[in-house]
Amino acid sequence: MNAQLQATGSAYFISKETQRPEIHTLSVLVDNEPGVLARVIGLFSGRGYNIESLTVSETEHEKHLSRITIVTRGTQHVLDQIKHQLERIVPVHRVIDLTVRAGELGQDRPLERELALVKVAGTGDARVEALRLADAFRASVIDANTEHFIFEITGKVSKIEQFIAIMKPLGLVEVCRTGVAAMNRGPQGM
């Protein structure tokens, strides 16, 4: 959402940042109260951090807890700051860097899935080809008439990106994506 990659902070930070930016997925458990999402997003924009993807929903209704999944990009130093700054927000219960946790568990990366709705319009060969490819991607048709399909596709971000790219010449009309939902493999919770 905003493309600033440098470590933020003091204006005196004129030394070159030597660390390379990495993409990490954070899980943030918060009290589901008014304004909580604004606090999280405001923190990112106010301090110049990146949001590549953001997903939020109440996950424990009795306790009014929501889980926010944020994919962000930064150097390790910035990622540490993001975690600590998030933990300062009063309604935030816990912040887990799923990418770091996956590393600790000896895994490549956390499980990440996204859902997309993809509308494709067309007739003739393009239409047949779209349906054939959708089948190959295990996308399902959730709406159709003689001139269009709406596909529902779930999977890794890369798979969805690829599917959308392939649909482009076949009459892609619009796309809606949920953003990433993520958790670590194994029996433990966050």
Partner 1 sequence: MSNGQNDTGRREMTGAEMVVQALKDNGVKHIFGYPGGAVLPIYDEIFQQDDVEHILVRHEQGAGHAAEGYARSTGKAGVMLVTSGPGATNAVTPLQDALMDSIPLVCITGQVPTTLIGSDAFQECDTVGITRPCTKHNWLVKDVNDLAKTLHEAFHVATTGRPGPVVVDIPKDVQFARGVYTPPQTAPRTSYHPQVQGDLDRVKEAVALLANAKRPIIYSGGGVINSGQEASELLRELVELSGFPITSTLMGLGAYPASGKNWLGMLGMHGTYEANMAMHDCDVMLCIGARFDDRITGRLDAFSPGSKKIHIDIDPSSINKNVRVDIPIIGDVGHVLEDLVRLWRATVKADKKALYPWWEQIAKWRARDSLAFKTNDEVIMPQYAIQRLYELTKHRDPFITTEVGQHQMWAAQHFHFEKPHHWMTSGGLGTMGYGLPAALGVQIAHRDALVIDIAGDASIQMCIQEMSAAVQFDAPIKIFILNNQYMGMVRQWQQLLHGNRLSHSYTEAMPDFVKLAEAYGAHGIRCDKPANLDDAINEMISVKKPVIFDCRVATLANCFPMIPSGKAHNEMLLPDEATDEAVANAIDAKGRELV
* Shortest CB 91 distance to partner 1, Å: 5
Pick out residues in 67-86 that bind partner 1 (CB under 8 A): 77, 80-81, 84-85
Looking up tokens 């807890």 gives: 65
114: left (phi over 0), alpha (psi -120 to 50) or beta: beta
Beta-carbon count within 10 A of 92 CB: 19
| CA–CA separation, 27 and 148 (whole Å) | 37
144 Cβ partners below 8 Å, 6+ apart? 150
Told to check if 35 binds partner 1 by CB under 8 A, we report yes
Nearest C-alpha neighbor of 68 from the set 25, 116, 114: 25
149 φ, ψ (degrees, to nearest 5) = -130, 150
* Tokens encoding 161: 């990106």
Return the number of the residue (87 or 135) whose C-beta is nearest partner 1. 87
Q: Which of 4, 6, 9, 162 binds partner 1 (CB under 8 A)?
A: 9
CB nearer to partner 1: give 13 or 147. 13
Q: Does 93 bind partner 1 (CB under 8 A)?
A: yes
The least CB distance from residue 102 to partner 1, in Å, is 22
Binder among 2, 57, 64, 87 for partner 1 (CB under 8 A) = 87
Stretch that binds partner 1, among 48-56, 88-96, 107-115, 162-170 (CB under 8 A): 88-96
58 binding partner 1? (CB under 8 A) = no
Total Cβ atoms within 10 A of residue 48: 15
Binding footprint of partner 1 on the chain (CB under 8 A): 9-15, 30-31, 34-35, 38-39, 42, 46, 77, 80-81, 84-85, 87-93
